[in-house]
Amino acid sequence: MANQNYKTLDSVTVADVEALGIPTELAGKLHGELTRIVRNYGSATPQTWHHISKELLSPNLPFSFHQMMYYGCYKDFGPDPPAWLPDPKTARLTNIGQLLERRGKEFLGSKYEDPISSFSDFQRFSVSDQEVFWKTILEEMNISFSVPPECILRESPSHPGGQWLPGARVNPAKNCLSLRKRTLSDVAIIWQSEGNDEAPVEKMTCQELRESVWEVAYALESLGLEKGSAIAIDMPMDVNSVVIYLAIVLAGYVVVSIADSFAPSEISTRLILSKAKAIFTQDFIPRGEKKIPLYSRVVEAHSPMAIVIPNRASSLSIELRDDDISWPDFLDRVKDSKGLEFVAVEQPIVAFTNILFSSGTTGDPKAIPWTLLTPFKAAADGWCHMDIKNGDVVAWPTNLGWMMGPWLVYAPLLNGASIALYNGSPLGSGFAKFVQDAKVTMLGVIPSIVRTWKAKNSPDGYDWSTIRSYMILVALAPLVRHLAWMNIFG
């Protein structure tokens, strides 16, 4: 464990601080502040870390000093020490805090004290009484079923792990478009394209999202594909791909998620395994001054019929195969249906809604099917663990080809929040500016970004100066209250 390699805070000396490359005068000042905090709050309490992080640490100090303080404070905590513990007022404002304030005594009886003190008891309750817990969470998220489940979990020898929500019929996309937590004028998606960083962010309201999804759903039906057919998406994570994703699900088809970085052979493998009947793609992907071809890769993969979207233009600049369709022509097939609500196709909870794939780095890619239940588990994780709620703006640089892509569609929309999408590289100042301009309240950092921070000349393998610069840029966005940080320390 990393924290076992550090001293407790009451054992840290001025010389220890100097050894990190901090000048003597500053080391003495920092040690004096540390001594004051430890004297007032102890050497290993949540209050200690709160005051250290607020009063002692700053981005200008070496990261090694941050580590010394953090692991020193939580030296005896265990293998997974917390980065932050909320104060009682903040805890009560969270989704779980508000739920426990209303129903804590009902769930826990006399054990209930307050959201923080009773959190562990509530966690145990979520396992011991899954029927009540999951029924409550689905109600909190206002999930609507056309046929409600017979129960939450039915134990069955023929179904290892049991049957979840048996008998239920539902459509996750319909729930994403519902107005139970929003109004038509609320913003559903906020986006910006790299290169347009000085322009105002673009926004799509709930009404515009609903009408766009309905339009694409009608156009999909015009293709005459059998319900339940697999339809692939090989596109960047942008507003069009979100609309297409929801339309495929709303119309009763199955999404096949393919990362836009894949080579033709990788695309072909996924199309063959999923038996996809059609694919949505773009002509190219702009990256700075470059145009990365995408449609040509799909053609080389011998894809089925492709619907091709022009990127940042009103028309395509490439020639299509005979059976392929341009995006404008695709939508023109149902121009008389524009603005008409599409009746969602409700299906059994065990029906497939998305086929993802393993990366294939250690062998052939393996299909990972999502049933109609999975979107609600993704949203529940967002509600419980990330505290996503109405009015939040969630940004997570990702792609539909990875599981966080579909998660980013469902977790915000099913919880009444907005999706924030940056169509470009998340590694520069343009993305950090977008985080500010879009007023992002929950920001995800993923391994694909972290891998770019690795540096051979760093003792622990990471370029901490780059990480620090990136985090300083992000920190300039004052509304970010949640930072979902994947474990990059091993």
Look up tokens 């550090």; give the residue. 6
Residue 159: per-residue pLDDT = 82
What are the residues whose beta carbons fall under 8 Å from the beta carbon of 391, sequence distance 6 or more? 416, 417, 441
Q: Is the dihedral of CA 371, 212, 137, 81 positive or negative?
A: positive
Work out the angle at residue 440's Cα, subtended by the Cα atoms of residues 477 and 177, and round it to the nearest 5 degrees.
170
Q: Can you give the pLDDT at residue 47?
A: 83
What Cα–Cα distance (Å) separates residue 73 from each residue in 18, 34, 67, 68? 19, 11, 10, 8
What pLDDT, on the 0 to 100 scale, is given for residue 482? 58
Question: How high is the pLDDT of residue 487?
Answer: 38
- Token pair for 108: 């826990």
Identify the pLDDT of residue 154: 93
Q: Could you tell me the end-to-end alpha-carbon distance of the chain, in angstroms, rounded to an integer?
A: 10
pLDDT at 455: 46
Report whether 189 contacts 239 (CB < 8 A). Answer: yes
pLDDT per residue of the chain (490 residues) written in tens, 0 to 9: 555 678 999 999 999 999 999 999 999 999 999 999 999 999 988 789 889 988 999 888 998 999 899 989 988 887 777 766 777 888 899 999 999 999 999 999 999 999 988 988 999 999 999 999 999 999 999 999 999 999 999 988 888 888 999 999 999 999 999 998 899 999 999 999 988 889 999 999 999 999 999 999 999 999 999 999 999 999 999 999 999 999 999 999 999 999 998 999 999 999 999 999 999 999 988 877 788 899 999 999 999 999 999 987 667 778 999 999 999 999 999 988 888 999 999 999 999 999 999 876 677 888 999 999 999 999 999 999 989 999 999 999 999 998 999 999 999 999 999 999 999 888 777 888 898 899 998 888 654 454 444 444 444 454 545 555 455 444 444 455 555 544 333 2
Say what the pLDDT of residue 311 is: 83
> Which amino acid is it at 59?
P
